[in-house]
Every structure is written in C-alpha cells, then in structure tokens.
Amino acid sequence: MSAALTQLNEEDRLFQATIRRFARERIAPRVREMDEKAIFPKDLLRQLFDLGLMGIEIPEEYGGQGGTFFQSVLAIEELARVDPSTAVIVDVQNTLVNNAILRFANDDQKKRYLPQLATGMVASYALSEAGSGSDAFAMATRAVDQGDHYLLNGRKLWITNAQEAGLYLMFATVNPEAGYKGVTCFLVEREYPGFQVGKKEDKLGIRSSSTCELILDNCRVPKANLVGEAGKGYKIAIETLNEGRIGIGAQMTGLAQGALDHAVAYARERKQFGKAIAEFQAVQFELAEMATQVEASRLLTYNAARLKESGLPFLTEAAMAKYFCSLTGENVASKAVEVLGGVGFTKDYPVEKLYRDAKIGRIYEGTSNMQRMTIAKQMLGKG
C-alpha cells in the first residue's frame, strides 16, 4: 500500500472510500459526454451537494459536514482520479470560497451564506483579469464607496465555476494608486444589478468545469458584503490561494493516479509478440517511474495539508506540492498515452482526456514559475 495512504485514520479511510465509490459509479459513466458537451449536469451538481462535498469544512451549525481541510484534499484527489473537472468544482468551493468566508467573513455573512453554500449554492473565486494574472494585484476592477454601498466596475477573466455560481468572492481595488493595499474583497450575488456572466471559454481540458468572463457595470454591492476591511483584501487573496494550491496538488495527484490505473490495466491486457506488454521490461520501467512520481506527489500534498491543519507554516510546502504535482500530472498522463499506444491517442480511452486536463495544473492558482519563485525566496530567506 502507498506509504501516504497508510497515514490515514479510519474516519478518513471511510470518507475516501465513499468518494471513490461515488466517483466510479456516478461520475465515470458520464465523463466523456460531459467533456464533449462542455457542460456540468445539474443533477450531478445536486448529488455533490447531497453527498456533502460542497461544504466539507462548513460547520454543522451552518448545514455543512463539519469536516477537515485534509478531507477536502482527499475528496479532490479521488474525484480527479475519475474526472478533474468535477474535482476543480469541489476544490474552488471548498479550499477557496468556503475557506475564505470561514476565516475572514463576519458572523452575519457566515449566517447568510454558509448554509446556502453547504446545501445548494455554487461559489466562484473572482481574482484574475486580463492584465492581472501572475501579477494578481495589478487589477483594474474598481470599487467606489457610495456610503451604504460600493459601485464596482470592471471585467474578470478565467473565473472557474462562474456559469453555475450564485455567489462570487470578488476582488476589486478601492485605490489603484495604492497597489496591493487598495485590494478589497466583496461577496457579490449573481442577481445584483450591474453584474453579468459573460463569455464562456472553449478550453483544451477540464471542459465541463465552466470558465467565464464576469462583467461589472456599476454593480451595486451593499456595504454589508464587504469582507474584512477595505484595502485588506490582498491578505484574503494570498492566504486562500496558498491553501488552494494544496488543492491543486491533490487534483493533479488524483489525475496522475487515474492515468496510472488505466496504464497498468491496459498493460496487463494488451498482448504483443505472444505476451502481455506488462511483461516487457521497458513497459515495467515506465510504470515504475510513473508510480514513483505519483507517490511522491501524494506525500508532498498530504504533508502540506497536515502542516496547514496543524497551524504550522506551510507556504513553501504548498508551493512545492503545487509545482511538483502539476509536473507529475502532465508527465504521467503523457506516459499513460504512450503505454496505450494508438488507442491512447483516441477518445475511446480516458487517458487522452486526462492528458488534456493535466496542462492547466501548471497554470492556474499560480504558474510553475511563480511556485519556483516562492520556494526560492523562502529558501533564501527573502520571503
């Protein structure tokens, strides 16, 4: 058994087994259709809520599961093993939005939104813009104080869960000249006047997870929906993204494990020159290398998650997990296509989709270069 998996307690094992069974029975049969249509079915979204996967860490008093961050990581990993699109929907809801509200929202905001997020409302994390990707705080979306409300104007791009969401954790600046010290966080409801979901992107991978533009045209946001203090939103963004990167590590680890599973199964069945290709040393070496990378990714991810849960510093470990696991996801999925050969290049087998899904791991929630910068700064004492 995997060394990382032997560290799980009985509760986590049961939780993991439940998610694994759900993914295989309810999600796997629909993955191809979801990918081709680039739509996430409403009934399957409802099942994610019914199983408690959209409110894992939300306390029971708000209708959530009262679970742990580590359980969120386990859920993301198991879902990604079958479908990374489903995993990222659950990931954004839990590690970014729910997490931010639990940590930074006031009591009234928690009472208003957490019960909805636990039981039926999808959430979205709206930070990126055309001119602020890796330079996240170079944002142009403006928030102007109007006394009892703010007026928000601007456009957000590449926003995950945007099409399905009813609530958006929105970042805008109250003072562009102040740089990151002008960044402010708001809870924006979909029905607010002046808010609109724009173009949906046609993507290479994770196609059934929606990625859209958001348009704010004099969007009126009540002051009661300001999260934390004006000008302190950068702290919310940084801290939630640090935790979110562990979620991406879990997603890429699960994806890689899924690709490895398919490669092993095929190698045992496919025969050439009178024997299964799994008996050829060249194939065995490829599978061994893939398995080693998956295990290393899982250990990095679990370690970062345990540090976070223990209240210990985890910035470097989260960056390492995100960086390494994204490499693993892409490499293992690519090797799986090669093990399957010609059929691996067709849509008849899942590895083709996993290969496409893997590429985003090196891009969103901090590119590989940004992770390397973070690791180096921490290592050299410049962070």
Contact 174, 231 (CB under 8 A): yes
- Where would I find the H helices in 271-314? 281-309
**DSSP string spanning 227-275?**
ES-TT-HHHHHHHHHHHHHHHHHHHHHHHHHHHHHHHHHHHHH-EETTE
The 3-state secondary structure of 2-51, one letter per residue:
CCCHHHCCHHHHHHHHHHHHHHHHHHHHHHHHHHHHCCCCHHHHHHHHHC
- Is 177 a catalytic site residue? no
* Lookup: tokens for 244: 């979110």
> Of residues 77, 213, 295, 365, which has the active-site annotation?
365
At residue 103, what is the residue type?
Answer: R
Residue 383's contacts (CB-CB under 8 Å, 6 or more residues apart) are 315, 374, 377
Q: Cα separations (Å) of 51 from 58, 68, 81, 184?
A: 13, 15, 18, 33
Using CA atoms, how far apart are residues 16 and 8, in angstroms rounded to an integer?
Answer: 9
Q: Is the dihedral of CA 280, 286, 288, 290 positive or negative?
A: negative
State whether residue 382 is helix, strand or coil. Answer: coil
Q: Which residues lie across from 216 on neighbouring strands? A: 154, 195
Q: Which residues lie across from 169 on neighbouring strands? A: 125, 187
Question: What is the pairing mode between strands 195-200 and 211-222?
Answer: antiparallel
At residue 295, what is the residue type?
Answer: E
Residue 135's contacts (CB-CB under 8 Å, 6 or more residues apart) are none
Residue 82: exposure state from Cβ atoms within 10 A (0-12, 13-18, ≥19): buried
The phi, psi pair for 217, rounded to 5°, reads -125, 95
* C-alpha dihedral, 20 to 22 to 28 to 33, nearest 10°: -140
Give residue for tokens 């991978």: 205
Catalytic site positions = 365
